[in-house]
Structure 1
């Protein structure tokens, strides 16, 4: 009888040991990764939002950056301004989180004044000019002088212009100053959340205006040329780290890469002028 009791006691003790060991490993498996591991994973990825003027150059440069650094880029797109739901200011106003924002400098300065970007993080990347396009196969008008440009606007049946920086300049400054806005407003269409070139390619408007870098990649259009120098608007596109950026070091590395001399040929090929300037 004593031997039976002893055997039973040993079995119960062994069972308790096995149960405790199994419970330990189960709880260990459920524990979150340690802070160093989590930190390492988060640093390997940053979230970026860029406006259209820099998109073509960015899309070509982003894979190079990822390959060189091992940092993954999660990219979103939106206009620099204009009030569209997916514009960069609207997205930040809704509380969307990004590490890096790339947009026109005036719009970026406005975000900075609201405390939405990190102080001293702004870097100018490129200068961009406004251009005009027509549908592929359509007659290409002469806009080489201000008078010829003005006549094209008066003669055309429909005009499309960007809801962002270039379109704001045209509709609120240039065309009113030229004294023709009252005549062309009724046939002009402000394009939201879409490339103006795509609207031209469909034939929805006869001529379209946007940053040259946004027109050049569009299939189905003919790039006519830039606005005459006397009335051209040069827009600087800049990058900055957001005030609530998670990966500041990786964000700084991306901005340094995008403003480096090594990427200038890619930028130039997209109809932009490379610059570099910090706060």
Structure 2
């Protein structure tokens, strides 16, 4: 007799990188323990997720930067009535554990730290990297920083600091905290800080799927909110 088919319910989730630490470290396990529902998770920067959606991929739930949801709704990817704001996060700088931490407490100090760095790592596809490009233009140091920068197509910039390609990593604070061996110097000064909100929504394909609705509700519940805060995010 053949083995019975595994019918354990599951949910496919596409998420930006900012929430990865909280989700993988705490939230997924707590949700599966409580409900018995498994999660098939895929993490990419919001811009990369948008490319995957444009190519026809359809998860059950998405977690992306909130500004991206309007176009996803217009394209029929998500059900806009299910949008739930989850967290906000700011951008900061990380260095390798044990390395000197530059002063970035003021805009002039941050400018000096970026100009004096051997190399600055940033993500070309992430919300933080897109903003960082505009910031160094505003500060008038783009050519200087770019001449020695370590741009990453996607992923965690802390990895480039840990392996020695760069000495400063720029990214969302929660993404810096995700990489072992990285020490967070601090957030950008308030005058040049850029907060990004991330929200979850059901895809149109999963609007009537009870497992997906259960996960959406869990992502905005007390257990998840506490996990977000512990990972460096601010629950909305």
Deviation at 1:247, TM superposition (A): 5.6
Unpaired segments of 5 or more residues in structure 1?
1-28, 82-86
1:33-112 alignment runs, 5 A limit: 41=7, 44-59=9-24, 60-81=26-47, 87-112=48-73
State the 1:91 CA deviation: 1.6
Q: CA deviation at 1:244?
A: 2.0
Partner in structure 1 of residue 111 of structure 2: 150
Q: Which residue of 2 aligns with 1:222?
A: 183
Pairing 1:66-215 to 2, within 5 Å after superposition: 66-81=32-47, 87-163=48-124, 164-171=126-133, 173-215=134-176
- How much has 1:246 moved relative to structure 2? 7.2
Q: Secondary structure at the match of 2:20?
A: helix
Aligned length: 233
- 1:10-60 deviations in whole A, cap 9, x for unaligned? xxxxxxxxxxxxxxxxxxx9xxx9xxxx9x947x21111111101111111
Alignment partner of 2:147: what SS?
helix
Match of 1:244 in 2: 205
Q: Which sits farther off after the overlay, 117-126 or 241-250? A: 241-250
| Greater shift in the superposed pair: 238-247 or 211-220 | 238-247
Judge conservation of contact 2:44–2:155 (CA < 8 Å) in 1: no
Normalized against structure 1, the TM-score is what?
0.78
Question: How far apart are residue 179 of structure 1 and its match?
Answer: 1.7
Distance 1:247 1:159 in 2: 45
Greater C-alpha radius of gyration: 1
TM-score by length of 2: 0.91
On the 8 A contact 1:99/1:247 being kept in 2, the answer is: no
- State the structure with bigger RCO (CA 8 A, min sep 6), 1 or 2: 2
| CA deviation map 1:133-159 (0-9, x unaligned) | 112222110101111000111111211
| CA deviation string 1:194-234 (max 9, x = no partner) | 21011110010111101111111212222111111111111
Higher helix share: 1
